[in-house]
Structure 1
Amino acid sequence: MALLILGVALWAFAHFFKRLFPAKRAEIGDKAKGGVALALLASIVAMVIGYRGAEFIPVYTPIPGIGHLNNLLMIPAIFLMGAGSAKGVVASKIRHPMLSGVTVWAVAHLLVNGDVASIILFGGLGLWSLVQMYLINRAEGAWSRPVAGPISKDVRVLIVTFVLYAVIAFIHNWLGYSPFQGTYG
Structure 2
Amino acid sequence: MTLLILGLLLWAGAHLVKRLAPGARAVLQDKMGDGSKGLIAALILLSVVLMVLGYRSADGAVYWGRTGAMVGINNLLMVVAVALFGVGNSKSRLRGKMRHPMLTGLIVWGVAHLLVNGDVPSFVLFGGLIAWALLEMILVNRAEHEYVPYDGGSFAGDVRLAVITLVVYAVISGIHWWLGYVPFGA
User: How far has the Cα of 1:139 moved from its partner?
Assistant: 0.6
1:162 aligns with 2:170: no
Give the distance between the partners of 1:143 and 1:160, measured in 2 at CA: 27
- Summarize the Cα distance change of 1:92–1:68 in structure 2 as closer, same or farther, 3 Å threshold: same
1:133 aligns with 2:148: no
Structure 1 segments of 4 or more deviating over 3 A?
A: none
Give the distance between the partners of 2:135 and 2:155, measured in 1 at CA: 30
* RMSD, aligned α-carbons: 1.5
Please list the CA deviations of residues 111-137 of structure 1 after superposition, one character each: whole Å capped at 9, or x if unmatched.
110111111111111111111111100
Paired-residue identity, % = 51
The residue number in structure 2 matching 1:78 is 82
1:61 to 64, 76, 99: 64
TM-score scaled to structure 1, two decimals? 0.92
Give the distance between the partners of 1:31 and 1:173, measured in 2 at CA: 36
Greater shift, 49-58 or 111-120, is seen at 49-58
User: How far has the Cα of 1:91 moved from its partner?
Assistant: 1.4
User: How far has the Cα of 1:67 moved from its partner?
Assistant: 0.9
The residue number in structure 1 matching 2:102 is 98
Corresponding residue SS for 1:86: coil
User: How far has the Cα of 1:56 moved from its partner?
Assistant: 4.3
Give the distance between the partners of 2:80 and 2:53, measured in 1 at CA: 27
Give the distance between the partners of 1:144 and 1:112, measured in 2 at CA: 37
Give the distance between the partners of 2:23 and 2:94, measured in 1 at CA: 32
Corresponding residue SS for 1:146: coil
User: How far has the Cα of 1:63 moved from its partner?
Assistant: 6.8
How many residue pairs are counted as aligned between the two chains? 181
Q: Is the 8 A contact 1:83 1:154 kept in 2?
A: no
User: How far has the Cα of 1:142 moved from its partner?
Assistant: 4.7
Please list the CA deviations of residues 77-128 of structure 1 after superposition, one character each: whole Å capped at 9, or x if unmatched.
0000011012431111000111110010000001110111111111111111
User: How far has the Cα of 1:148 moved from its partner?
Assistant: 2.0
1:171 aligns with 2:175: yes
User: How far has the Cα of 1:165 moved from its partner?
Assistant: 1.1
